[in-house]
Amino acid sequence: MSDSDSLLQIANQKDRLAFQQLFQKYAPRVKSFMMRHGADANTAEELAQETLLAVWRKASLYSSERGSVTTWIFTIARNLRIDRLRKEEMWVELPDGYDQEASMDAQPDEVVSDEERRLNMHRALNALPRDQYQVVVLSFIDGLSHREIAERLGLPVGTVKSRIRLAYLKLRATVGAQDE
């Protein structure tokens, strides 16, 4: 069963087996994501549980037009992380509140499957020059701001910004998005 089928099963029938499958796949990754942000093992596990519990509760809100299941789970985990680990005000509450057109609409060549898109992104990430890959990871996985990345790497903030911008432009090209 694909991830989006599992979600559908959960949404329609509260299928616990389908949920278990998603849990086993994603909870360990979300836990380690939280640990990268400085959560201790217990807190990280709690946050992983909470992320997957949100998947259970919000399954009916997921729509494959809005991106892959992994992306959806990433956004839930990211929001929980901001809320709990940084104790900051939650400003970016994107996954549920935003309307459907937020998706990558207007993609006529929908023949590219989720799986292909995922593989393309992996390849593109690994093809980035090391210095660009590094700042992208520090931003997404370690949750560091541009200033914090600059301090950690001993670089000017402007250099960090331009590396992130360059990396993004390359990654965006691989998913076929065009500049307007």
User: What residues between 58 and 97 interact with other proteins by CB under 8 A?
Assistant: 58, 61, 66-68, 70-71, 73-75, 77-79, 81-82, 86-89, 91-94, 96-97
> According to CB under 8 A, which one of 4, 32, 64, 134 is a site residue for other proteins?
32
Of 68, 69, 63, nearest to 96 (Cα)?
Answer: 63
- Binding of other proteins by 143 (CB under 8 A): yes
Spatial separation of the C-alpha atoms in residues 38 and 159, rounded to whole Å: 26
How far apart are CB 48 and other proteins at their closest, in Å? Answer: 7
- Binding of other proteins by 16 (CB under 8 A): yes
Contact predicate 55/75, CB 8 Å: no
Backbone CA torsion sign across 120, 100, 30, 18: negative
Q: Report, in angstroms and rounded to the nearest whole number, the Rg of the chain calculated over CA atoms.
A: 17
How far apart are CB 95 and other proteins at their closest, in Å? Answer: 9
- Binding of other proteins by 47 (CB under 8 A): no
- Binding of other proteins by 19 (CB under 8 A): yes
> According to CB under 8 A, which one of 7, 18, 47, 144 is a site residue for other proteins?
144
Q: Which is nearer to other proteins, 137 or 155 (CB)?
A: 137
Spatial separation of the C-alpha atoms in residues 7 and 5, rounded to whole Å: 5
Spatial separation of the C-alpha atoms in residues 30 and 137, rounded to whole Å: 15
Per-residue CA distances from 125 to 10, 39, 98, 145 (Å)? 32, 26, 27, 20
How far apart are CB 109 and other proteins at their closest, in Å? Answer: 15
Site string for other proteins, 149-178 (x = CB under 8 A): --------xx--xx-xx--xx-xx--x-x-
> According to CB under 8 A, which one of 98, 113, 116, 129 is a site residue for other proteins?
98
How far apart are CB 5 and other proteins at their closest, in Å? Answer: 18
| Token couple for 42 | 């217990």
Contact predicate 52/68, CB 8 Å: no
